[in-house]
Structure 1
Amino acid sequence: MFRREKEMEKENLIEGRNAVIEALKGDTTIEKLFVASGTKEGSINVVLAKAKEKGITVKFVDRKKLDQMSQTHSHQGVIAETTPYKYYELDDILEYAKEKNEAPFIVILDEIEDPHNLGSIIRTAEVCGVHGIIIPKRRNVGVTSVVYKTSAGAAQHMKIAKVNNINSAIDKLKENNIWIYGAEMEGKEYCFDADLTGPAALVIGSEGQGMMRLTKQKCDVLVKIPMVGRISSLNASVAGGIIMYEILKQRIKRG
């Protein structure tokens, strides 16, 4: 019970000016804002104006108080206390793609534990037109304040589904005629040689071990990124970003 409460605690704070502004623009339920006393310059005025417009309580506190609350250690003088991120269902993501009359474009994360990586992936996914991200309920970081901050507020605009079992989710996607592409160093095909224009789900493995064996076996195609340097692997968010942009590029070229 205590552990669950701590997890909820981590997911009810949004830190940093850009992330808070995006939350204020969206549908996030913000309970109150904590702003460092004496902070009046720059974009903090946008934060205060939006808060006033929405009738959100603003508490001016000593910066040390924010330092104590902060999990990102980079709050920029403002922290929003919210209801925890409301996760979506897999069906919500599929329905969203249908509403946009677009071939589904989904990202599946297989045990990403670094919140900075998750935040970066969400930011890139939002820019690339991804309809939603699927993460497992266990052994994967959730949408914490660090994730919000790293995503520059993109988490506010991304449908993220937490599932009990990644492989069961993959089976459901296949039932909906979605091809599963795994980002894999030892893949047989370069990402730019694969046809990524149709309904697609991209699986990105964990920072250390990559994709789990069964998940890898469930992929229809394993794609790799060309690398000619001495380093044999890429950060999960970088590798995912490269392939997401390849999918976007192919879709744009297809028209």
Structure 2
Amino acid sequence: MERIQGRNPVMEAIKAEREIDSITIAKGAEGSIKKIVGMAKDRGILIKYADKKKLDEMCESTNHQGVVAIVSEYGYYELDELMEYCNNQEGSPFLIVLDGITDPHNLGAIIRTVDAVGAHGVIIPKRRSVGITPVVVKSSAGAVEHVPVCRVSNIVNAIKELKEHGLWIAALDMDGDSVYRSNMTGPIALVLGSEGKGISRLVKENCDFAVKLPMEGKVSSLNASVAGGVIMYEVLRQRTLKEG
């Protein structure tokens, strides 16, 4: 079993019908806690009440907003399951491939944006990358409950398989062309590199093309989740214009 902390993440877990063993609520907690209690009761989920200190101990932090849920382990998708999911959705497949994101806050923020732009899922490596942790769930504001996440043994092999399914693979790289002059419509997977090193050489060599964000200021790079968010919204903008 795993822990989910925070009001929005717990609420989204209930909405998504995640298997929830119990929800512990801090005594005296108010506001949206009442809505969570109501939703939990409707699903027959066990509700416990405890002192805030107990919740602090459960989470090893005080950032739980007065609610902690004990849930089943996160269910990762296999790559073929993710492609089947994409094929059952409206529009061309739109996936995000993460080559070594290690900061859970970045992964959570990226997944939150993936949900916001209507992308179909995220692919992460099993090694040298953060998985779905309580911090990721909290940082995503619960979006992990609605975004398929696939863990693969080898990113390069996954990219090759995506190509077989007809996707174009675009790397976010400073040596690429401006994303604003690139065609980002159609079936596409956007590859984002790690916070410090960017995309690995082998992964980059297996991408079809590279795009970048114009940098007009003094700083030469953006945080991975920020850059990814801007690119994802450009994909959404181009798709919306094409469909309109």
Identify the TM-score tier after normalising by the shorter chain: over 0.9
SS of aligned partner of 2:174 = coil
Residue of structure 2 equivalent to 1:38? 28
1:99-248 matches, within 5 Å, as 99-187=88-176, 189-248=177-236
Residue of structure 1 equivalent to 2:54? 65
Q: Take 2:10 and 2:164, find their aligned partners in 1: how far apart are those partners?
A: 38
Q: Which runs of 4+ in 1 moved over 6 A?
A: none
Tell me the TM-score normalised to structure 2 length. Answer: 0.97
- Any gaps of 5 or more consecutive residues in structure 2? none
SS of aligned partner of 1:119 = helix
Number of equivalences: 243
Q: Take 2:175 and 2:4, find their aligned partners in 1: how far apart are those partners?
A: 38
Q: Take 2:83 and 2:116, find their aligned partners in 1: how far apart are those partners?
A: 18
- Note if 1:21 corresponds to 2:11: yes
- Displacement after TM superposition at 1:102 (Å): 1.8
- The AA in structure 2 aligned to 1:224 is K
* Amino-acid identity (%): 51
**Deviation readout 1:203-254 (Å, 9 max, x if unpaired):** 0000000011100111111100001111111000011111100100000000
- Displacement after TM superposition at 1:72 (Å): 5.7
Residue of structure 1 equivalent to 2:241? 253
Q: Take 1:95 and 1:86, find their aligned partners in 2: how far apart are those partners?
A: 16
Cα RMSD after superposing both structures: 1.1
Q: Take 1:31 and 1:51, find their aligned partners in 2: how far apart are those partners?
A: 11
Tell me the TM-score normalised to structure 1 length. Answer: 0.93
Q: Take 2:141 and 2:90, find their aligned partners in 1: how far apart are those partners?
A: 27
- Any gaps of 5 or more consecutive residues in structure 1? 1-8
**Per the alignment, do residues 47 and 101 of structure 1 end up closer, same or farther by CA in structure 2, a change over 3 Å counting?**
closer
- Displacement after TM superposition at 1:177 (Å): 1.3
